[in-house]
Amino acid sequence: MIKTVIFDMGGVVITLDENEAGKRFVELGMKEFAEKMDPYKQSGLNGDLEEGKLSEEEYRRQVSEKVGREVSFEELQHCWLGYMKEVPARKLMTIRNLKKQGYRVVLLSNTNPYVSAWTDSADFSGDGHPIGDYFDAMYRSYEVKYMKPDENFFRYVMAQEKALPEECLFIDDGARNCCAASEVGLFTYCPQNGEDWCDKIYDYLK
């Protein structure tokens, strides 16, 4: 029986725009970022940021050096938020309903401090709620020092939650991530980016 529902953020809770962030980094002067950007797992400097190997400030300084001028937090956040296309209210309501129905609801996401500064603010939901209002716990790559599809990320969350993998459902729009979660023993559901999973999720919870 499923007791814990674990959500990816980008592509599941938030609909992703896979191209806009790259365009914004090109405008900033970081064409090399745009050529390597991957909404599922970043590499290079961006990967070091999302895996917690670089702090937000260390990352900002290194980008500034590459661009040849001082780049602000706000400029970099503008680039990263290019990924964020939409936060459907229906999905947030479904997550809230799952909590009311007795499920433990957890976020497990590859992300970074620039995106979190927005998701953790009242601007996130469109009606004054940060993302933390919807989840019982949040595990973010740059904080826990793991990135999906590393199986250790899932094992870490299982240990923290004191949860049995066979009692967890993991929802992610990345097939590689779902495969890694399956290897650890979790049940998985892999909707497409932006897909309305609000009704179908219950087929996996039966």
92 and 75 inside one domain: no
40 pLDDT more than 60: no
Q: What is the sign of the dihedral through the CA atoms of 124, 202, 41 and 25? A: negative
C-alpha angle with apex 109: 108 to 110, nearest 5 degrees? Answer: 145
Which of 60, 83, 106 is where one domain is finished? 83
Residue 168 belongs to domain with CATH number: 3.40.50.1000
Q: Are residues 134 and 191 in the same domain?
A: yes
Clarify whether residues 67 and 112 are in a common domain: no
Residue 92 has pLDDT above 90, yes or no: yes
CA neighbours closer than 13 Å in the CB half-sphere of residue 142: 18
Domain count, the chain: 2
Q: Do 55 and 146 share a structural domain? A: no
Please check the confidence at residue 41 and state whether its pLDDT lies above 70: no
Residues 99 and 186 in one domain: yes
Say if CB 178 and CB 172 are below 8 A apart: yes
Q: What is the mean pLDDT of residues 127-137?
A: 97
pTM of the model: 0.94
Rounded (10°) angle between helices 73-80 and 20-28: 150
What would the pLDDT profile of 139-153 be if each residue is shown by its tens digit? 999 999 999 999 999
Residue 107 has pLDDT above 80, yes or no: yes
C-alpha distances in angstroms, 70 versus 65, 126, 187? 8, 31, 46
Question: Is the same domain home to 34 and 102?
Answer: no
Containing structural domain, residue 42: 20-83
Calculate mean pLDDT across residues 81-88. 96
Examine the residue annotation and report whether 8 is marked as an active-site residue of this protein: yes
Residues 39 and 129 in one domain: no
CB 157 within 8 A of CB 139: yes
Q: Which of 8, 17, 172, 173 is catalytic?
A: 8
Verify that 172 and 194 share a domain, yes or no.
yes
